[in-house]
Structure 1
Amino acid sequence: MKEKELIRLIKASQLYYEQNMTQAEIAKEMEISRPSVSNLLARARKEGLVTITVKPFESTTFGKAQVLRNYFDLKSCQVVSVGRTKKETEQNISNQVVDTLLSVLPRTRVLGLGWGYNMGQVVGALCQRGIKDKPSATLCPMIGTATIPHKGYHPNELCTDASQKLGIPAEFLISPAFPTTRQEYRLFINTENYANIYTLWKRMDTCMVTLGGYPCVPDHATASRFGRRLVSERAVGNMLSFFFDIHGNAIRGEDDCAIQMPLKQLGRIRNFIGVAPAGGSASAVIGCLNTHVVKHLVIDEGIAGEVVKYLYETEKLGKFDEGGAIL
């Protein structure tokens, strides 16, 4: 191809694709016929000067949300944008979790709070919101308190902040999350306080829980509770310090004395809001979602894409219809 012809192809392509000029406008600019412009654009694509890429459905934000919602049988899936910094992404996630909570709160009788750094951020975002209507719900923690300085691991404090913001009563679980001995464990679960909280757990219909990973930082006393079992059985994620493999199977410890809402009751919660942390592990999210206890998912676009990619690579997904359903 001669240099003059190459320059014509590039110029026509730049005017059309970069400056959004119509073919009629380009014809006038280059003093050629409109069919000649069409021919130049076709030749530019054929010569590789112009490449056109159409994103598949599942690579879009909407597509990722639909794929995850349909595959994991979720009531809702909100995929939020990745910010310029991790902190900005965390704020995007927290704000969306609050939106999801407020959408189901009017129908809630008992609201449960999980724990962790991310749950502390969600409660912080909630406290920044204007609440129009006072809900008629009771609030309670889903796990005891850890000996970790961060406020997110003190569920009673989170419940205090949230109850004051929402204007609803809160009940507190007066116990450690990980008693050091089985005797201490039995002492706490036989108290009137535990019995009252257990009654609320059985009635709980909405909760917010972090979909955490493994290994987890800070550690959840895993050595004393599980020995080497989390490693040998390939744990990838945790919710409320219950640990799961990639298939969603719970890993049991021989001497696990954790004080938390029983696992069998998590699946009965109508509006279980799962929060995937920014910069977290896709395998952790997959393991938690495979338990089928999560009903509403909030996740950033990056991790959502990794989860969808995993489902493709393991041949769990085929093609999709226009609504994101698996064909």
Structure 2
Amino acid sequence: MDRTNGQKQPPLGKIARLYYEHGLTHQEIADLCGLSRIKVTRLLAEARRVGIVEITVHSDDHLFVGLESALGQAYPLRQAWVGPTFADEARALHSLGAVAAECIGTFLEEGTTVAVGLSGSVAAIPGHLRPAAALNLGIVPLTGSRGGISRAASSHELALAFAAAVGGHAYHLPAPLLARNVEAAQVWREDPAVQETLERAASADVLIAGIGGTDTDGGVLVQGLSPTELAGIRERGAVGDIAGRFFDANGAAVAGEVDERLIGLDLDQLRSVPVRIGVARGADKRPALDVAVRQGLINVLVTDVSTAEGLLASADAPTDRPV
């Protein structure tokens, strides 16, 4: 049994300090603490996982330059950012969030307003952002929020998380993601506080949003629809959504009650934001990503190796659509 001074296991902080601050090897720590070398390795990994140890790499080197360049040639993109692929969902989101945070950092200047879309992928970003309090950044949600357990379902919480990470200020959109009916949605849109926040979002310098699919687990909005509503969306040609707005294979809005009930920017307003960062990964998102990029819904792509390779395989030829 692993023991140190009568204890089953020394504190993670002690192991981490011995290794990172005092330069002891895994074996030296093992001998000192009465542990196996493998146990020390596992404890150091645990210290990183729970946040006792944070590692910052000071480098601007991209991980997959070849893939990023190929995406820029095959699609009308300003930039492409690619991270590694993981089978484990938690690791995949962590990595995608880190790459997206690095991407966002290149577009932040004094007074930049960033509009954030409701998405699990976008919710993975704030933990990787670097403070930039001197830039006086504004963070504004693109849509209202869903009710129930949070799980990235609150646009307000997401905006607050981004603002806290960069040292900026967040704006609140006091409305639901989907109103109860079309009439209620109109009432929400006429509320002065809602109008003010949506106008600020429409004039943002940068937006960052996930790209959802139309499968039952394709995104935050899809998961809140009934089977009948989802079937209707598909019948009208929806291939995906961005910031809650469903679009078809031509990048056009999918009309209907769901679209009329949504509180948020429409597709034309989204396209008017100069820098439009889309963050998504997975085979189920490829069709929607392909359309979103080709039709100018996004002009900066953050994804993983597997998705990038899938997109390139389906890309027929470069386009000259302006970005």
Q: Same fold by TM-score, threshold 0.5 exceeded?
A: yes
* 1:289 match: 293
Alignment size in residue pairs: 252
Determine the structure 1 residue equivalent to 2:268: 264
What does residue 254 of structure 2 align with?
Answer: 251
The range that moved more, 264-273 or 249-258, is: 249-258
- Identify the residue that residue 307 of structure 2 maps to in structure 1: 303
Residue 90 of structure 1 aligns to a residue in which SS? helix
- What residue number does 1:232 align with? 235
Shift in alpha-carbon separation, 1:63–1:165, aligned structure 2, 3 A: closer
- 1: CA distance between counterparts of 2:118 and 2:102? 19
Q: Which amino acid aligns with 2:302?
A: V
Quote the residue 1:167 is aligned against. Answer: 167
Q: Is the 8 Å Cα contact of residues 202 and 265 (structure 2) preserved in structure 1?
A: no
When the two chains are superposed, the root-mean-square deviation of aligned CA atoms in Å is 2.5
Q: Which has the larger radius of gyration?
A: 1
Go from structure 1 to structure 2 and tell me whether the alpha carbon gap of 1:132 and 1:201 turns closer, same or farther (over 3 Å shift).
closer
Matched, 1:102 2:105: yes
Q: Is the 8 A contact 1:143 1:259 kept in 2?
A: yes
Query: How big is the shift at 1:132?
Result: 5.1
Name stretches of at least 5 consecutive residues in structure 1 with no aligned partner: 1-59, 319-327
Residue 178 of structure 2 aligns to which amino acid in structure 1?
F
**Is 1:77 matched with 2:71?**
no
> Post-superposition shift, 1:225?
9.4
- Give, as a single letter, the amino acid of the residue that structure 1 aligns with 2:246: F
Query: Would you say the 8 A contact 2:174–2:194 is kept in 1?
Result: yes
SS, match of residue 106 in structure 1: coil
TM-score by length of 1: 0.70
Q: Is residue 134–residue 166 contact of structure 1 (8 Å, CA) maintained in 2?
A: no
Cα pair 1:225 1:253 within 8 Å, conserved: no
Partner of residue 180, structure 1: 180
Supply the distance in 1 between the matched residues of 2:111 and 2:311 (Cα, whole angstroms).
30
Identity rate, percent: 17
Aligned partners of 1:239 and 1:132: how far apart in 2? 27
AA partner of residue 203 (structure 1): S
Which amino acid is the alignment partner of residue 243 of structure 1?
F
Q: Which residue of 2 aligns with 1:150?
A: 150
Shift of 1:67: 2.7
Who is 1:198 aligned against? 198
1:199 Cα shift?
A: 2.3
What is the CA-CA distance between 1:220 and the residue it aligns to? 5.1
C-alpha distance in structure 2 between counterparts of 1:177 and 1:132, whole Å: 29
The separation in 2 between residues aligned to 1:227 and 1:147, in whole angstroms, is 19
Q: Structure 2 counterpart of 1:157, which letter? A: E
Determine if contact 1:86/1:279 at 8 Å carries over to the other structure.
Answer: no
Please say which of residues 78-87 and 155-164 is displaced more in the overlay: 78-87
Partner letter of residue 115 of structure 1? L
Cα separation, 2, equivalents of 1:299 and 1:236: 18
Equivalent residue number for residue 209 of structure 1: 209
Cα offset for 1:298? 0.6
- Cα distance 1:306–1:246, how it changes in 2: closer, same or farther (>3 A)? farther
Quick one: distance in 1 between partners of 2:282 and 2:90? Answer: 8
Closer/same/farther in 2, CA of residues 289 and 174 from structure 1, 3 Å limit: same
In structure 2, C-alpha distance between the alignment counterparts of 1:220 and 1:247, rounded to whole Å = 24
**Could you say what secondary structure the match of 1:269 adopts?**
coil
Amino acid at match of 2:266: P
TM-score, with structure 2 as normaliser: 0.71
The CA distance in 2 between the partners of 1:212 and 1:189, in whole Å, is: 24
2:182 counterpart letter in structure 1: R
Using the alignment, how far apart are the partners of 1:253 and 1:90 within structure 2? 32
Structure 1, residues 200-257: CA drift from partner, whole Å, max 9, x if none? 0232111110011112425355459957442223322111121123342321114621
Kept after mapping to 2: 8 A contact 1:151/1:158? no
3-state SS, counterpart of residue 277 of structure 2: strand
1:118 counterpart residue number: 121
8 A Cα contact 2:127 2:165, kept in partner:
no
Matches of 1:270 and 1:239, distance apart in 2? 16
